[in-house]
Chain A
Amino acid sequence: MGKNLTMLVMDAPYESANSTTALRIVQSALHKGHNVHVFAYEGAVTLTLKSQQPHANPAKGTTAEQEQHPTTKDWIKALFEMSKGNGAKLEWTNCGLCVDERGPAEWIDGPKRGGPPEFARSVIASDTTLVVPTKRNC
């Protein structure tokens, strides 16, 4: 039987490998039938930004099609579609204050606006919580 996983992510797209790893974990958990609730804070609220576009690479002279440039919004969109197919539920909450500060309010279908109270409720209701913080060296 599927369990409930709460994840918190904070990195903006292409900032670090954390985003890729977090999405790999979500994909695997959904594939195993677990319900996943992702909370995006800080720059991570741009992971689901609708206007993301693949681009060409002028340095290599390749087109956008040849580059096959992955965008996080397409990956997350695919995760939502995957969750519809296997019964596991994916919820995605973008921090409202983080969105207001940065302005990226046009998202793909699926994410909702929320904040710390929703995160706290999800943590309490979940079997496991994983926080993937931004990297700050010290």
Chain B
Amino acid sequence: MNQYLLIESRDCFESKDVEYCYDLAKDLASSGNKVTLYLIQNGVLPTRRTSMINGRLSDLAKSHVDVYADDFSLRERAIPSSALADGIRVSNIDTLVDLLMSDGTKAIWH
């Protein structure tokens, strides 16, 4: 089993590539890999329960993808943890570094 860390820094309304990143996370997880999707910068905007796209992220969490939202990015955008869609967990840069430095992790920034 490989370990993948996908770091998504963009909002899905900023770049259509974002949905491909979500698809990649789901495909990697369904192939038996350990996958973390770390949302940072504008990447945290779709985490809001009221976002049109939040169902995609909750679906990923149900599909065995660990979905994290960066606390600093959330605060910058005035998104409280209570506003997050189901399955999304608040995380921080130290956790991101731990994930990045885990043995065998393949990291992709988008």
Contact = CB atoms under 8 A, between A and B. Distances in A.
Interface of A: 3, 5, 17-18, 21, 24-25, 27-29, 31-32, 34, 127-133, 135, 137-138
B93 A28 contact: yes
Interface in B1-28: 7, 9-10, 14-17
B48 to A, nearest CB: 18
Contacts of A18: 9, 41
10 contacts: A5-B101, A17-B42, A18-B9, A21-B41, A24-B72, A31-B94, A32-B97, A34-B101, A127-B103, A128-B100
B107 A32 contact: no
Contacts of B107: 128-130
Among B7, B9, B17, B100, max chain A CB count under 10 A is at B100
Contacts of B14: 137
Contact of A21 (B16, B40, B94, B105): B40
Closest 7 CB pairs of A and B: A28-B97, A17-B41, A28-B93, A24-B93, A29-B97, A137-B15, A3-B101
A29 B98 CA distance: 8
Contact of A133 (B16, B73, B105, B109): B109
Contacts of B100: 5, 25, 29, 128, 130
A5 B105 CA distance: 12
A135 B15 CA distance: 10
B101 A138 contact: no
B96 interface: yes
Interface residues of B, number: 23
Interface of B: 7, 9-10, 14-17, 40-42, 72-73, 93-94, 96-98, 100-101, 103, 105, 107, 109
Contacts of B7: 130
Contacts of A130: 7, 100, 107, 109
Contacts of A24: 72, 93
A37 B98 CA distance: 17
A24 B73 CA distance: 12
B94 A32 contact: yes
Contacts of A25: 93, 96-97, 100
Nearest to B98: A32
